[in-house]
Amino acid sequence: MKTSVYSIAGKELRSIELEDTVFAREVSMGSIYEAIKVELANRRQGTHSTLTRREVDATTKKPYAQKGTGRARQGRVKAPHYVGGGIVFGPKPRDYSYVIPKKVKRLAFKSILSLKASSGNFKVVEDFTIASGKTRDMASVLKAVTGEGRVVVVTSAHDAMLKRAGRNIPNLTLLAWNQLNAHDLFYSHQLILMEKAALEIGRVYGDQEVESHGSV
C-alpha cells in the first residue's frame, strides 16, 4: 500500500510503501469486537459489593410476636424483603479480566488499521517532537494535520515532552506504536501515525499473516 507522508505543517513530502497485510487487508469485525470487549472487561475494577442477610448488622430479635398479631410470622429484620435487609444474589467483588488468543488480537489491530486506511481517516506524518512541551505548540501541529473529533497519534517512541504537550488537549490520545489498544484506535475520528511508527507496525504485524482467522 502506497501512502503520502505529511509534514507537521500539513504539506505532502513524499510517498512510502506500507505493508499490505497490515494496512490493506480484509477487515475482520469479529476480531475487533473481541479485542475491544476484552480491553473493556480488563479495565473493570470489580469492587462492587452488597451485603447478604448474614452480613447485615442488625438485631436478631423477632420484629414482633409469632402469634396473636394477625400478621404473617416473621423471623428477622435482616430478611431480604425488609428495608435495609440483606440482598439476594447481589454483586460481590470479582475479577472480570480474561485473555483472547494472540492471533485474534493481532488480527484485530490489522483490521482496525486497514479500516482506518480505507476510510480516509488516516494520515502518516514525519516524526516530530514538541521540545517546548507546550500545549499550544502541540495544538498548532494538530490543527495543521488533522480535522475535528477524537484524534489518536501513534508515536515511534516514548516522548515525555510530546506527552506533556498533549495531555491537556481534549479528545487527543497518544499511543506508542508497541502499546496500541483496539478501543482507542477503533473509536478515533482521525488516526495519525508517525512515519517510523507506521513502518515498525508494518514490520512487526506483517511478519505473520493469519489467514485462519480471516472469517472471525
Q: What is the pLDDT of residues 108-124, one digit of tens each?
A: 999 999 999 998 889 99
Q: Tell me: the pLDDT tens digits for 57-112?
A: 999 999 999 999 999 999 999 999 999 999 999 999 999 999 999 999 999 999 99
- In this predicted structure, the answer to whether residue 172 has a pLDDT above a threshold of 80 is yes
pLDDT of 212 strictly over 90: no
pLDDT higher than 50, residue 141: yes
Among 197, 129, 138, 194, residue whose Cα is nearest residue 170: 138
Pair type for strands 2-6 and 12-17: antiparallel
Q: Maximum Cα–Cα distance for the chain, whole Å?
A: 93
pLDDT band at 158; cut points 50, 70, 90: confident
Pairing of strands 172-176, 151-155: parallel
Is the pLDDT score of 209 beyond 90?
Answer: no
The grid cell for 145 is: 494535520
**Using CA atoms in the order 165, 167, 169, 172, what is the torsion angle rounded to 10 degrees?**
110
Question: 2-28+102-213, what's its fold?
Answer: Ribosomal Protein L4; Chain: A; (3.40.1370)
- The reported pTM is 0.82
| SS3 state of residue 29 | helix
Domain boundaries, the chain: 2-28+102-213
Residue 214 has pLDDT above 60, yes or no: no
Predicted pLDDT of residue 208: 57
